[in-house]
Each structure stands twice: as structure tokens, then as C-alpha cells.
């Protein structure tokens, strides 16, 4: 198995979701420029990504959507179900819980952890909330490899260290604290930075510059 660039893996996930929608609408084939338009990418980028995973289309029909979806799944999915834990079940944690419960990927939410006595022992649509003190025991018992971190900023570093010590090897950090880890793959998602970025480009004068550029 060859290691793919992070951005390529992100785009492959996006390709699959878009391709599945097209397939559900009865479309069987798609050209690179059509897929690129759906995701605001260039056809060259799409072709490079798809060639990187060993797939080629035809000049007459483009890519077979069902075959491409299957290949992307074989590349980016685990052969078996991967289990996730949410650490911190505040409002954001609950929103992520609801989203994961509705998703159709091979990712399964298997446990929730918190320090609030009112939440510990509670079942969230069949997923039990455990005391954070039991993190290592539950992670090993349930074979959890992925963790979503949604704790208060003051607890981010210590909780992240607990996750790694417990055996979690993939972490999504939703706190505003920039973390540095060893022994796990870390993805940092800063909601405030994303909002401020959008707000900047939504300023009337900046928007006008972008409109003129287009």
C-alpha cells in the first residue's frame, strides 16, 4: 500500500460523496471536467488524483461511476469497521454524535467520554457516555482507534495525551488549542479560524474584488 498525500485523501472522500449522489440520480458515467465542476476543482487535478489510485477513464464515456466509487472505498476505507469515541459531549459533541449516527460510512461511534456526573452513564442513541477515567479500559475493550476531541480549551492538551496513552491513533481536534502529538495522526479543525476566514472574504470590498477577478 502506498502512502497518499493528505489533500488527495481529502479529495477522494469528496469525490466519493459527489459520485454517489450522481449514481443515485441514475448517472452511470462522468467526465473529469464534470466532476471538477461539481467540486470547484480543475480537470487536471481530478485526473491526477484518479490516476494516482490506478484508475483511468475513456475518451468516449469518461469514468464509470460505480467502479470509481468502489475503488475509492477500497483505497481509503479500512477492510473492517473503524470505531470512534467522542471525548467531551457538550453541544458540539452532541451535534457530531447526531451526524455520525446518520452517516453511512464504515466509521462507527462506539463510546462517549465526559467528566460531568450528570452525563456519565447516560445513553445517547445507544452509545454510552463513560467517565474519562475509564478511557484506556474502554478504548482497548471496544478496539477504538479514532477520537474526536471537543473538550474545553483548558483541558485539550491533557485530554489529548490521555487519548494517545489509551491507544487512539487518529485524532480530530475541534478545540481552538493547537496540539502537537507523537504516535497518532492529528487533524485540527478550528471553527473560529474558518468563520473568520469566511467573514474576511465576505467583506463587501473583498467580495467585490473577488467578483471582478472572476
Taking only the tens place, the pLDDT of each residue in 191-206 is: 888 888 888 888 887 7
C-alpha of 5 from chain center: 15
Alpha helices in 61-105 (DSSP H): 65-76, 91-102
Classify domain 82-193 at the CATH topology level: Rossmann fold (3.40.50)
87: closest CA among 166, 6, 193, 184? Answer: 166
Question: What is the model's pLDDT at position 214?
Answer: 52
Distances (CA, A) of 124 to 27, 97, 136, 151: 38, 8, 20, 17
Percent of residues, the chain, with pLDDT higher than 90: 68
Domain with CATH 3.40.50.720 in the chain: 82-193
Chain region(s) in the chain for CATH 1.10.10.10: 6-75
What CATH number has the domain spanning 6-75?
A: 1.10.10.10
Q: What pLDDT band is residue 104 in, cutting at 50, 70 and 90?
A: low
Residue 84 CA to residue 142 CA, distance in Å, equals 9
User: Out of 114-123, 167-176, 204-213, which region has the weakest mean confidence (pLDDT)?
Assistant: 204-213
Contact 156, 183 (CB under 8 A): no
Specify the pTM.
Answer: 0.77
Residue pLDDT, tens place only, 139-185:
999 999 999 999 999 999 999 999 999 999 999 999 989 998 998 99
Show the cell assigned to 94.
Answer: 452532541
pLDDT digits (tens, 9 = 90+) for 16-71: 999 999 999 999 999 999 999 999 999 999 999 999 998 887 878 899 999 999 99
Amino acid at each position: 500500500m502506498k502512502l497518499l498525500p493528505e489533500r488527495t485523501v481529502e479529495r477522494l472522500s469528496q469525490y466519493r460523496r459527489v459520485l454517489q449522489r450522481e449514481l443515485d440520480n441514475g448517472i452511470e458515467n462522468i467526465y473529469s471536467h464534470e466532476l471538477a465542476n461539481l467540486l470547484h476543482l480543475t480537470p487536471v487535478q481530478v485526473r491526477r488524483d484518479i490516476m494516482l489510485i490506478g484508475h483511468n477513464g475513456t475518451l468516449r464515456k469518461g469514468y464509470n461511476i460505480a467502479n470509481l466509487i468502489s475503488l475509492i472505498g477500497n483505497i481509503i476505507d479500512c477492510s473492517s469497521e473503524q470505531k470512534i469515541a467522542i471525548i467531551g459531549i457538550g453541544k458540539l459533541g452532541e451535534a457530531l454524535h447526531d451526524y455520525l449516527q446518520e452517516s453511512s460510512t464504515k466509521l462507527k461511534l462506539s463510546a462517549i467520554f465526559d467528566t460531568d456526573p450528570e452525563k456519565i452513564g447516560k445513553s445517547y442513541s445507544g452509545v454510552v457516555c463513560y467517565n474519562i477515567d475509564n478511557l484506556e479500559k474502554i478504548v482497548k475493550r471496544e478496539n477504538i482507534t479514532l477520537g474526536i476531541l471537543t473538550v474545553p480549551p483548558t483541558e485539550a492538551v491533557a485530554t489529548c495525551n490521555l487519548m494517545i496513552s489509551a491507544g487512539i491513533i487518529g485524532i480530530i481536534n475541534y478545540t481552538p488549542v493547537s496540539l502537537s502529538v507523537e504516535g497518532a495522526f492529528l487533524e485540527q479543525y478550528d471553527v473560529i479560524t474558518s468563520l473568520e476566514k469566511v467573514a474576511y472574504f465576505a467583506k463587501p470590498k473583498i467580495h467585490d474584488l473577488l467578483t471582478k477577478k472572476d
